[in-house]
Amino acid sequence: PKSSPQSPHRWLFIWTGHLYVKSGQFTVSFLQCPCFKMGPYVSWGLPDGTLINNALQSDDSGLRNRRYVIFGNGTLLLHQAGKKDEGDYTLSLMVGPVAPKIRSKIPSVVTVKLGESAKFSCQARGEPTPTIMWISPGNDVIPISSGKFQIMDDGMLVVKKTSLADEGKYACIARNAAGDDVKNMKLEVEPQEPFINGMKGKSTTTVLAVFYQTVLLDCRVEGKPKPRVWWVSPHGHSLPTPYLGGRFQVHLNGSLELRGMRRTDEGRYTCLAKNDLGEASLLVELDVASLAEKPSFAFPNIEILPLKQDSGPLILDCPARGKPKPEFAWVLPNGTIVWIVYPAVHNGKCFNHFHGQSGSLVSSTLFLKSLGTPGLYDLYDHTTAIPHL
């Protein structure tokens, strides 16, 4: 095969065959085109140099076009072939780009559950190899990779963590220099009971607000059919979605905004969501502090405790204050972080970790049994060094 830089076609295929005719006989002869699929530009060169192509059938002003016929598959037919027709016949075949063709163009519907990934297959053939692009239900071109979508090397589209907003028609477009092909597919989410902030049923959380500031209580609801969403205040007042009244506002996305926080706003706020398949609730315990206070330690940042070998359990105490109440994490010499509030075992050593409270101080105490090597025990920016004597 050869290529021609001046031609828009991709290949030039040349093949030569020899025709033999028995003496004294006139026959109908066929010269078969040795190709699976031909392009629109086929020509045969006769032994005397005459050129016959599938557009003109002959270049001799029609004197011989009744004897030579080129079929749609490129085969050359010779009527009344005689001895004078013997010789080499040359086939020239220009094959151009082949427009894309998507396999299985039957429209399909992909059904998934909320939060699961949906996959759309789109495979196409053509020459040159088609590129695959996807169009979202909002008529936007989908990027190859994003937080929501992923287009694989084989053209498959993956929709991650599907939500109701992802439903609709997706279009796959296969395109190359010869044209394009399109396939439409639809994404549907299965009927689902309500979720609040990604959780089914009942859930609780605690929120600390600061005096006279604004707080936002998040209540992201998903479900199919679309659930009805409303809030219930600590005093039993029902706040629909949307709602605007005084310092309270319920946004379209279900979140409750409270402005100019006061002590009287403290209490339990409940977000409720309900559809035909079920319901879900979120209980928010709201506390209001006069002022937030950064955590601070009652002892110096570095404390050295002498330790004798085999002296028994060691108690490391770390009192701190702050608003809201601080959370504690111990960092052991080997890098282990201890967040737990119940006994744990690490590398054969037992650690007991609990919280105590005295006045405005909150204490985190660490008990170590079978202490081995010395080292540094960190609690945030508080460090306790334990040397051997």
Instruction: Please write the tens of the pLDDT for every residue from 237-268.
Output: 999 999 998 899 999 999 999 999 988 899 99
CA-based nearest residue to 319, from 273, 288, 359: 359
Q: DSSP states of 340-377 as a string?
A: -SS-EEETTEEEEEEEEEETTEEEEEEEESS--S-EEE
**Are both 210 and 253 inside the same structural domain?**
yes
Of the two residues 78 and 256, the one the predictor is more confident about is 256
User: What percent of the chain clears pLDDT 70, i.e. is strictly above it?
Assistant: 68
Mean of all residue pLDDT scores within the chain:
76
Say which DSSP state 49 is in: S
Range of the domain at 301: 294-386
Of the two residues 370 and 14, the one the predictor is more confident about is 14
- Structurally, the chain folds into a number of domains equal to 4
Average pLDDT of span 312-341: 75
Instruction: Please write the tens of the pLDDT for every residue from 295-316.
Output: 777 766 677 777 776 667 777 7
pLDDT at 353: 46
Q: Can you tell me the distance from the alpha carbon of 136 to that of 165, in angstroms, rounded to the nearest whole number?
A: 11
Task: Answer whether residue 58 shows pLDDT above 60.
Answer: no
Instruction: Please write the tens of the pLDDT for every residue from 202-231.
Output: 999 999 898 889 999 999 999 999 999 999
**Are both 256 and 201 inside the same structural domain?**
yes
Task: Answer whether residue 5 shows pLDDT above 60.
Answer: no
Task: Answer whether residue 278 shows pLDDT above 50.
Answer: yes
**Are both 355 and 377 inside the same structural domain?**
yes
Q: Give the residue from 60, 95, 130 where a domain finishes.
A: 95
Task: Answer whether residue 332 shows pLDDT above 50.
Answer: yes
Average pLDDT of span 2-27: 51
Assigned token pair, 209: 């607000």
Please indicate, yes or no, if residue 3 is contained in any of the structural domains: no
Q: Give the residue from 95, 125, 149 where a domain finishes.
A: 95
The percent helix, strand, coil of the chain (3-state, each to 5) is: 0, 55, 45
Q: Can you tell me the distance from the alpha carbon of 138 to that of 188, in angstroms, rounded to the nearest whole number?
A: 15
**Are both 84 and 129 inside the same structural domain?**
no
Report the SS3 class of residue 152.
Answer: coil
Average pLDDT of span 61-78: 68
pLDDT band of 106, cuts 50, 70, 90: confident
Strands (E), 32-73: 41-45, 51-53, 68-70
pLDDT at 172: 95
Average pLDDT of span 341-368: 45
Whether a cis peptide bond, with omega within 30° of 0, leads into 242 is yes
The answer to whether the pTM exceeds 0.85 is no
* CATH code, domain carrying 55: 2.60.40.10
201: left (phi over 0), alpha (psi -120 to 50) or beta: left
Q: Which residues, listed in sequence order, are joined to residue 93 by a DSSP beta bridge?
A: 13, 42
Q: Give the residue from 37, 61, 95 where a domain finishes.
A: 95
pLDDT at 311: 66
Q: What is the separation of C-alpha 134 from the centre of its chain, rounded to a whole number of angstroms? A: 13
Number of H helices, E strands in the chain: 0, 37
pLDDT at 30: 55
**Are both 236 and 159 inside the same structural domain?**
no
Give the CA distances from residue 130 to residues 38, 144, 154, 159, 202, in Å, rounded to whole numbers and listed in that order: 20, 15, 11, 22, 50
Of the two residues 318 and 124, the one the predictor is more confident about is 124
Task: Answer whether residue 129 shows pLDDT above 80.
Answer: yes
Please give the single-letter amino acid code of residue 270: T
User: What percent of the chain clears pLDDT 90, i.e. is strictly above it?
Assistant: 36
Q: Which residues, listed in sequence order, are joined to residue 286 by a DSSP beta bridge?
A: 207, 267
Please indicate, yes or no, if residue 345 is contained in any of the structural domains: yes
**Are both 45 and 125 inside the same structural domain?**
no
pLDDT at 318: 77
pLDDT at 230: 96
Q: Which of 43-57, 135-149, 177-191, 249-263 has the lowest mean pLDDT?
A: 43-57
